[in-house]
Amino acid sequence: LLVQGVVGAVGATVIFLPQICLLFFMISLLEDTGYLARAAFVMDRVLRPFGLAGHSFVPLLSSHACALPGIMSCRAVPDPRERLATILVAPFMTCAARLPVYVLLTSLLFPGQPLRAALAFMGCYALGIAAGVGSALLVRRTILRGKSRPMALELPSYKLPSVRTALVTTYDRGLSFIKNAGTNILAICIVLWWLGSFPHVAPPTAALELRERAALVQNDEPAKADLEGQADRLAASHGKAESFLGQIGRTVQPVFAPLGFDWQLTVGVMASFAAREVFVSTMSVVLTGREEAEDEGVFAQLSQSRRTEAGGGAGRLVFDQPTAWSLLVFFVLAMQCLPTLVVTAKESGNVKWALLQLAWMSGVAYAAAFLAYRLALAFGGG
């Protein structure tokens, strides 16, 4: 509980703090120079056709670090309808938590082709932005109708930025992120740790046999350690598969079957609702028994892992091309961050807006992932 649940949850929160603080530091410098106000003024013309105003530019920009501070900064949007529309679409922007998933899937889709992988990576950002402004247009034409206020903004003079002011602003924003996101992520990660760790099950026969072989090895510590490591990985993978989370994955898998997901991928998707980057480590444990997905050996195992149950297409690669495209599109668009829903409910003043955000983003992600899967199949991506 302490090492994997509490410390792991704190680590999952803190690991993104440096890049989030760096983005806020740079934004603060831009704001202090007088540039950001002019950027918002220019972006007003771009965002106005979609029912948003220039005031929404900074919250949407901040959401590329993390949607939580982006949503909280929507308080600066004066029009209540535009503010609510910005809150609802901010999570479509690609946040830092999505990046490990993008790296994994683009590397699987384009092995040895960094340029094409980079283009797909950039396409994820573009798709998120397009989905966000498109959703804003829809919501402003339906449930949040109303005439937009003209943007009135006093443009400050250009000046040299204050590093001290930027540091203080960054500290305040970082502390706010830890307080608002950290506590929620901690609670969710502990629940998911419990679901992924219980009930305890006996190691599989293959793991027991490897341990017996390791016990018989004499005067060859590397060979013994290798056998014990294989046994540990088999036991970890089996334990995750038979846990409550694994059972939930098998139960829910038919819902995700049209997207090409088997039960193992479904477990990863379910676990990632705590934080999207958890998907990578969860898949590493389920498929290889190890968490270090960045290791070349583990990555190779992930790319060659095969499905185990007939309902998921036994024998097929877990990450075949159509499924990898489907997963990538799903992670770009899906609402897989429960702390964001908590902050949305708080900032909007009503939980119904958080539920609408969850339903809309999940529906869009499911439909787009299904389309990507069918297109990849049609164009011979099997």
In single-letter form, the type of residue at position 46 comes to V
pLDDT at 382: 47
pTM of this prediction? 0.85
Q: Which residues in 10-49 are b (16+ Cβ under 10 Å) and which e?
A: eebbeebbeebbebbbebbbbbbbeebbbebeebbeebee
> What's phi and psi for 317, nearest 5 deg?
-60, 140
Q: How far apart are the first and last CA of the chain?
A: 41
pLDDT at 116: 95
Dist. CA 227–CA 225, nearest whole Å:
6
Digit-by-digit pLDDT tens for the chain (382 residues) are: 888 777 876 776 677 788 778 888 988 898 889 888 888 889 999 999 999 989 899 899 889 888 888 898 898 898 999 999 999 999 999 988 899 899 999 999 999 899 999 999 999 999 999 999 999 999 999 999 988 777 877 888 888 999 999 999 889 888 877 776 667 677 777 887 888 888 888 888 888 888 888 888 888 888 888 888 888 888 887 887 788 888 888 899 899 999 999 888 998 898 887 778 778 878 887 777 666 666 667 788 888 888 876 444 667 888 999 999 999 999 999 998 888 888 899 899 999 999 999 999 999 999 999 999 999 999 865 4
pLDDT at 73: 85
Q: Which residues in 69-94 are b (16+ Cβ under 10 Å) and which e?
A: bbbbbbeebebebbbbbbbbbbbbbb
pLDDT at 12: 66
pLDDT at 168: 93
Dist. CA 377–CA 382, nearest whole Å:
6
